[in-house]
Chain A
Amino acid sequence: MSSFSAAVITFPGSNCDRDMAVAIEQVCGGTVHRVWHGDAALPEGLDFIALPGGFSYGDYLRSGAMAARSPIMRAVIEAAGRGVAVLGVCNGFQVLTEAGLLPGALMRNAGIRFVCRDVALTVANNQSLFTAGYSQGQRVTFPVAHHDGNYFADEATLDRLEGEGRVAFRYAEPVNGSSRDIAGVLSEGGNVLGMMPHPERMIERAQGGSDGRALFASVVRGLVAA
């Protein structure tokens, strides 16, 4: 690929957008466009779109609900439909479920409390665009910082997700009450990943570890191969 082109969307209340942009710049290289939620269109020729963490619209109504209906999301949904890689982290995951790009919903943590700490995850499927750089079952450590990370879907949906290899990451131990310890979910086409833990905050040693690098590196390698 001659020049990798990514966009990080900023909603009012996003607070991990800069971390996300830096992670993509450092690991993927290329150009990272910063896009405002009120924009109607995305830059042309994007390879990768990231929806960052934060508390868009103050979590009004439901976490991610307002952001999912903002003008730029129509363009993101359209791009995802064309197969553009889309990563939603934390609030970004909530936005993706609210926008209907991923199944299920993220509810209040079962323990009520906000959880902010490093958690151990296992790679549940290393055959995806986002996880190919990990080994199957690999244990990685990413931070979480959320109040509404309790992944819920009905039993039939959970069975389907597991059967189709669409659970990308699981918590190694219970963190927030998520059904079947699901921490990250892939879309049917495999080009959309939503996850509560923050890979963009584990890019270099100064951040406490670099387990997140392989996720961004996987996307670049996967897109070059495609």
Chain B
Amino acid sequence: MPKVRVTISLKNGVLDPQGRAIHHAIEGLGFAGVQDVRAGRQIELEVDDSVTDAMLDEMAVKLLANQVIENYRIERVAG
């Protein structure tokens, strides 16, 4: 069944406390050179062939992403 991957990330300029905490933890482990960390979310959907790009976009806008703070990217991946 076709698979769809929706990647949700915080918009630029939106403070990401989780990303910052992960960044601190990476540095705490002794890794140098990491300039910034942003945490996001990935949602995978298994869909029928009848599910159109427009429907996927509507799902993202209505539920999966909050466009006040988040961007989303929809990809169809080989399933």
Contact = CB atoms under 8 A, between A and B. Distances in A.
Q: Do A and B bind each other?
A: yes
Interface of A: 61-62, 65, 69, 97-98, 103-105, 107-112, 150, 152-153, 177
Point out which of A97, A107, A112 has the most chain B C-beta atoms below 10 A from its C-beta: A107
Contacts, number: 36
A174 B62 CA distance: 32
Contact of B18 (A97, A104, A112, A152): A112
Point out which of B17, B18, B63 has the most chain A C-beta atoms below 10 A from its C-beta: B17
B18 A108 contact: yes
Q: How large is the interface on B (under 10, 10 to 19, 20 to 34, 35 or more residues)?
A: 10 to 19
Given A152-B14, A152-B15, A177-B15, A112 B21 contact: yes
A61 B15 contact: no
Given A105-B69, A150-B17, 18 more contacts: A61-B63, A61-B64, A62-B66, A65-B63, A97-B68, A98-B66, A104-B68, A105-B68, A108-B17, A108-B18, A109-B17, A110-B15, A110-B17, A111-B17, A112-B17, A152-B68, A152-B69, A177-B15
Q: Is the interface of A mostly helix, strand, loop or mixed?
A: loop
Interface in B8-65: 14-15, 17-18, 21, 62-64
Given A112-B21, A152-B15, A177-B15, A107 B64 contact: no
Nearest to A104: B68
Interface of B: 14-15, 17-18, 21, 62-64, 66, 68-69
Given A61-B63, A105-B69, A177 B14 contact: no
A177 B17 CA distance: 10
Contacts of A98: 66
A105 B63 CA distance: 14
A63 to B, nearest CB: 10
Given A112-B18, A152-B14, A152-B15, A107 B69 contact: yes
Contacts of B63: 61, 65, 69
Contacts of B14: 107, 152
14 contacts: A61-B63, A65-B63, A65-B66, A98-B66, A103-B68, A104-B68, A107-B15, A109-B17, A110-B15, A150-B15, A152-B14, A152-B15, A152-B68, A177-B17
